Amino acid sequence: MVFSDYRPYTPGDDTRNLDWGIYLRLDRLILRLFEEEADLPVYFFVDASASMAFGEPSKFDFARRVAAALAYLALLDHDRVSVVAWADGIARELPVRRGNAQTWPVFRFLQGLASGGRTDLQAALRSYFGGRRPRGLVILLSDFLDEGGFAPAANFLRQFRHEVFAMQVLSPQEVKPDLPEEVVLVDAESGVADAVRVTPALLAEYAEAQDEHCREIESVCRSGGWTYLRARTDAPFEELMLQLLREQGVLK
């Protein structure tokens, strides 16, 4: 508890905080105000679905690196760090860690994660936040390739009034795919195959659809007052950490 300010007493205020010295000197009832400096729960939600294994480097590796960097900063700041790997539910969970001494356990946990399974963010959020969790910062690292869509999951999360930072991880291969003319595309998660005749026109349409998808995710985030960041795995990591996170207000 750290003193922060004074204000005049109003009936109903806790009389235990009256500054009796001032009352004696000035004959006025002044209330002392204190700020309680609580440690912030930070929930790292790392997408470990099969789609995250795509790309070179893989989106999953990229997401883990980002999570590790941010977790390190949080631990330095004495925040309570939780790390959750999720796919169509909670894949693995690192219980709350606090203090910089927990840096390596967090890193080891992240290193030990493996990708696999289908993406179902809503199921994962329901599973994790279904129990009582203190309000905090949710850092969501995912490609958001969720058949159920992002909006239902976001709506679910919004009710807990967490602060949310969503990072959409994109690989350059999926932003600008290099495909032969005749190809059967196989979904890494569902195994569904689609025979596609790749033409420049189709690629242009794909790029448009990809952009549209990203805009949808961003729109959902912005509408909830969340922070959204789109990151390509081929972007320089330092630049991302130092500039983009700062620009987005994640780092101060």
Partner 1 sequence: MNLLGLSPVWAAVLLIAVAAAVIGLYLLKPAPRRIVIASTLIWERVLHRKRRDAERWRWWQSLLVSLLIALLIAFAIIRPDTGQESTDGKRIAIVVDNGPSMQTLRSDGRTRLEYAMAEARRLIAAGGAGGRTKVVDTMGTLGAPVFEDRRRALAELDRIGAAARGKPRFPETLRADAKGDAARIVFITDGVAALDIPKGVEVVSAFEPAANVGLTAFDVRTPPGDPRRYEAFVAVANAGAAPQRVAIAIAGAGRAPVERTLDVKAHDTRALTVTLPDFVGGPVRASVRADGDAFALDDEAYAFLPVTKVAKVALVTPGNRALEQALRLDPRVVLTILSPQQYATRAGFDAYVFDRFAPPAAPAAPALLIRPPHQSWLPAIGATRAAPLVESWLDGHPVLDNVSLRDVQIERSVTFRTDAMPVIALARDAGGAAMIVASAAQPRWIASGFAIEDSNFAAQASFPMFVVNALAWLLDEPPAMVRPLGLASVPIARARVVGPSGYQKDTRFVPDATLFDADVPGVYAAEGETGRLRIVANVLDPAVTAVNASRLAPRRSAATDARAPANAPEPWFVLLLVAILLMMFEWWTYHRRLTL
Q: Examine residue 187 and tell whether it contacts partner 1 (CB under 8 A).
A: yes
Q: Examine residue 145 and tell whether it contacts partner 1 (CB under 8 A).
A: yes
Q: Give least dist CB 208 to partner 1, A.
A: 8
Q: Give least dist CB 214 to partner 1, A.
A: 10
Closer CB to partner 1, 204 or 242, in the complex: 204
Q: Examine residue 177 and tell whether it contacts partner 1 (CB under 8 A).
A: yes
Task: Give how far the C-alpha of residue 47 lies from the chain's centroid of Cα atoms, to the nearest Å.
Answer: 10
Q: Any idea what DSSP says for residue 39?
A: P
| Parallel/antiparallel/unpaired status of strands 137-142 and 163-170 | parallel
Q: Examine residue 193 and tell whether it contacts partner 1 (CB under 8 A).
A: yes
Tally of CB atoms within 10 A around 111: 10
Look up residue 202 and give its two tokens.
Answer: 């189709």
Q: Give least dist CB 168 to partner 1, A.
A: 12
Closer CB to partner 1, 141 or 245, in the complex: 141
Q: Give least dist CB 180 to partner 1, A.
A: 6
Q: Give least dist CB 111 to partner 1, A.
A: 22
Q: Any idea what DSSP says for residue 18?
A: B
Site for partner 1 in 69-128 (CB under 8 A): 119
Span interacting with partner 1, options 14-22, 33-41, 157-165, 178-186, rule CB under 8 A: 178-186
Task: Give how far the C-alpha of residue 207 lies from the chain's centroid of Cα atoms, to the nearest Å.
Answer: 25
DSSP string for 83-137: EEEESSSEEEEEEEEESGGGHHHHHHHHHT----S---HHHHHHHHHTS-----E
Task: Give how far the C-alpha of residue 17 lies from the chain's centroid of Cα atoms, to the nearest Å.
Answer: 39
Task: Please give the residue ranges that form the binding site for partner 1 (CB under 8 A).
Answer: 51-55, 59, 119, 143, 145, 147, 171, 174, 177, 179-180, 182-190, 192-196, 202, 205-206, 209-210, 212-213
